[in-house]
Structure 1
Amino acid sequence: MRKPDTIEHLYLDFDSFFASCEQQRRPELRGRPVGITPTTGNDGMGSGGVIAASREAKKAGLRSVVSRRDALKICPDMAFVPQDPAFYREVHHGAQASIKTVLPIAKVMSIDELSCELRPQNIDDPLGTAVRIKRALAEGIGPYVTASIGFAPNGHLAKIACKEDKPNGATVWRPEDLPDALLHIPLGGVPGIGKGMTARLEQNGITDMAGLLATGPKQLRKIWGSVAGERFWYAMQGHEVITQKSKRGMIGHGRVLPAKWRGLSEPYGCARMLLTKAARRLRRENFYANTLYVSLKIRARPGEEPRRWADATELHSANDDRTCLKALDRIWQPLAAKLEQLPFVNIAHVMISFSGLVPIGGRQLDLWATEDPERQRWEHVTRTIDQLNAAANRSLITVGPWSPPPGGNAGGKIAFTRVPQAEDFW
């Protein structure tokens, strides 16, 4: 394990990315609080809760996902804008092109975060590098989509540093600045320490950053319950920690339904569409799935908080549309029969996900799911459908009904942990 003697990494985090994209293309939104919503209302404005907010809204105290009503209590003049994920994806790629004019991008973490490895000229003049990146972004995509940048010996510390001077700031932590530069940061402000881990650390007498840094790596390994705790300690001390690439655990899509789509039939149509989208991703990323998971948020009485309902079924290493849709029916039909007996049903959210992923080529079928001719035929049919849809650049052919909810973004939505692919918006 190597400990760099200078800064080697840059971490860039766009400021309120989704709302900033809207402010860049719509001058009337600039300088005012903006809330991005999942759907479009009857008046063409955003409806539903706020899922992303502008820097003005955050400055006023809006910190997380909130209802429209609660958002208005904090920001009475908030503008609600329906999400436009395809547009945000375009801005993301434009931003990447602008940054690459200054230095190469090493890794894209999500649609609004990325990292770069520094070259000698960047190490000598990190703040000048930050200025050039910001200038390139302003010239390439516009001055309202800004970014905060951190420089540090490793990527983990650079990510923490970039949060220090938000929005639109730049922070440099050289080895000689550490650990003093970290001491004011609360435990919950460090990537890798959530509420549960904060409570676990406090149970072990670690209540602040000084206590965390003074704890040995073996002790953190014990507290974490895995080698991740030991790696975390070395990363916080400025070491370059090389970790194995994490394996994908699931692929899925979810959707908040508009008010007129919250009965029984419309959510089922949405579930079929989301499942088909997720199955396409399975095939594009060369996976089979062994489990289908369906989750709904359901109100059984007007005005009550929605309750989560979920169920799962086995797939036996499948990724073709017909097998996956039949599995959805095994879950949905018994639930629908129960819901039909209720005097009131409001399904507010649908989520479909595949888990138990295995790479294509590593599939092992059990005795009850042999490679029978029917499965082989439908896998071939699905591959042909994918090719035709790709050629048409849209969902030209589907297995059964195709029912996107109002507002577009059929299967595409704001993605906080990945960059959507163009196919997500077909």
Structure 2
Amino acid sequence: MPREIYAIPILRKAGFRRRLPSEAEQGRELAHRIKAALLNAFGPTLTCSIGIGPSELLAKIGAEMHKPDGLVILRESELPDSIAHLKLSDIPGISKGMSARLEKAGITDVPALWKLGAKEARGLWGSIEGERFWNALHGLPYERPVSEKRMFGHSRMLSFDWRTPERVHDCARQLSLSAVRRLRRTKLKATQLTLSVRGGGSRTDTARRSDHQRWSTEMQFEAMRDDASTLEQLAAAIAHYRREVRFKPRSVTVLLHGLVDAAPAQADLFSQPGLNDQRAAILVRQEKRERLSGAMDAIRAKHGPASASWGVCDEIPGGFVGSKIAFGRIPDLGDFNEAPSKDEATHFCVVA
């Protein structure tokens, strides 16, 4: 267990993004309140770095500048001097490939990047994203494209005693149920399930783990979002895994994707009559299963997460399979499918 835990909260509030420069002190006060609340709730072990800027990109840059317990305000009037010392690789959104492209164009540092014109950035990026990046870097407003949800999924590192095919199935089963419950809270259904397993985990020269042994399979099916159909597709994927994989698993991932509208499907007028009857039977069965899954969701919402489950629910080492705060998404309260536990009840397992 590490002795220090670092967290970087990034505030994304539309009303806060375009305030007057003189109002930046309100952000400073809010940041100090956040730090004080963390100290009061968790003690000095849990710290955070906070960045405040005229754009989300600049706020992210600020949060990265003074870890693990920093507070940086990047003011528009102080740009680009306040970030001129950074490497291009320190700027969110500039990957290794993009760095190579910029270097080829003679741009090797932040001051040179700053001098680019908006249209030049668009040309280097090869899309409108370059112009959006330019506006964000200069602290200017820009139109953000509406993002569409493309998948629902969960991953899990396996403890030593869970690195067997049987336990991979047990873990993947709970990950699948968690993902499909999230799916049911939307107006979408899934038509594909991907099961991925990684092994190896040897240390590289940079002391980072390299899961060089990888395997995945993808199942395709009629659009669904119920527990029973999800577990059927997972069982088929697990059968492939048992036949094909010979390495020791270290982590498992389940994704539900190929998302479509959850509105009732229309029959194909040009398909064979026999196939239409078969598909209609599948749709009727899935509709019944979806109603059953919805009833179980209602029971859990009223009586607690553990009040109803589909089959046996084994406890996974680490004690939590629900949603977590990921890099790109703040989870909804409904994503947490387990009851809150007291701090002293939290336990840890070795996954090295």
Contact 1:294/1:351 (8 A) holds in 2 = yes
**1:378 aligned residue:** 289
**Could you tell me the TM-score, scaled by structure 2's length?**
0.77
C-alpha distance in 2 between matches for 1:360 and 1:372:
12
Q: 1:416 to 1:132 in 2, by over 3 A?
A: closer
Contact 1:287/1:360 (8 A) holds in 2 = yes
**C-alpha displacement of 1:411:** 3.7
Say which of 98, 112, 125 aligns to 1:224. 125
**1:171 aligned residue:** 72
| 2:133 alignment partner, SS class | helix
C-alpha distance in 2 between matches for 1:294 and 1:153:
41
The worse-fitting range, judged by mean Cα deviation, of 186-195 and 281-290 is 281-290
Q: 1:173 to 1:274 in 2, by over 3 A?
A: closer
Can you give the 5+ residue segments of structure 2 that lack an aligned partner in the other structure? 201-209, 339-352
Match status 1:112 vs 2:9: yes
Say which of 137, 152, 164 aligns to 1:251. 152
C-alpha distance in 2 between matches for 1:139 and 1:262:
38
C-alpha distance in 2 between matches for 1:269 and 1:374:
25
Q: 1:362 to 1:183 in 2, by over 3 A?
A: farther
Say which of 228, 231, 252 aligns to 1:350. 252
Match status 1:316 vs 2:217: no
Whose helix proportion is higher, 1 or 2?
2
Q: Deviations over 1:211-259 (max 9, x none)?
A: 2122222232232222111111122122111212311221101111111
Say which of 17, 23, 26 aligns to 1:122. 23
Contact 1:291/1:312 (8 A) holds in 2 = yes
Query: Match for 2:188: what amino acid?
Result: F
* 1:119-268 matched pairs, under 5 angstroms: 122-123=23-24, 127=28, 130-131=31-32, 133-135=34-36, 137-139=38-40, 142=43, 144-268=45-169
Match status 1:327 vs 2:245: no
Contact 2:322/2:335 (8 A) holds in 1 = no
Match status 1:292 vs 2:204: no
Q: Deviations over 1:32-53 (max 9, x none)?
A: x52xxxxxxxxxxxxxxxxxx6
Match status 1:360 vs 2:262: yes
**C-alpha displacement of 1:125:** 6.4
| 1:395 alignment partner, SS class | helix
Query: Match for 2:260: what amino acid?
Result: V
| 1:113 alignment partner, SS class | coil
C-alpha distance in 1 between matches for 2:158 and 2:120:
46
**C-alpha displacement of 1:279:** 0.4
Pairwise CA RMSD: 3.1
C-alpha distance in 2 between matches for 1:419 and 1:156:
17
C-alpha distance in 1 between matches for 2:51 and 2:77:
16
C-alpha distance in 1 between matches for 2:235 and 2:27:
56
The worse-fitting range, judged by mean Cα deviation, of 217-226 and 133-142 is 133-142
Q: 1:329 to 1:136 in 2, by over 3 A?
A: closer
C-alpha distance in 1 between matches for 2:27 and 2:8:
23
Contact 1:322/1:378 (8 A) holds in 2 = yes
The worse-fitting range, judged by mean Cα deviation, of 321-330 and 380-389 is 321-330
**C-alpha displacement of 1:316:** 3.0
C-alpha distance in 2 between matches for 1:136 and 1:406:
30
Match status 1:281 vs 2:193: no
Count of residue pairs the alignment pairs up: 315
Query: Match for 2:9: what amino acid?
Result: D
C-alpha distance in 1 between matches for 2:100 and 2:133:
17
C-alpha distance in 2 between matches for 1:142 and 1:276:
35
Q: 1:158 to 1:349 in 2, by over 3 A?
A: closer
- Which protein, 1 or 2, shows the higher relative CO under an 8 Å CA cutoff with sep ≥ 6? 1
Q: 1:365 to 1:239 in 2, by over 3 A?
A: farther
**C-alpha displacement of 1:309:** 0.1
Can you give the 5+ residue segments of structure 1 that lack an aligned partner in the other structure? 1-18, 20-32, 35-52, 56-109
Query: Match for 2:222: what amino acid?
Result: H
Q: 1:258 to 1:414 in 2, by over 3 A?
A: farther
The worse-fitting range, judged by mean Cα deviation, of 322-331 and 136-145 is 136-145
**C-alpha displacement of 1:361:** 3.5
| 1:245 alignment partner, SS class | coil
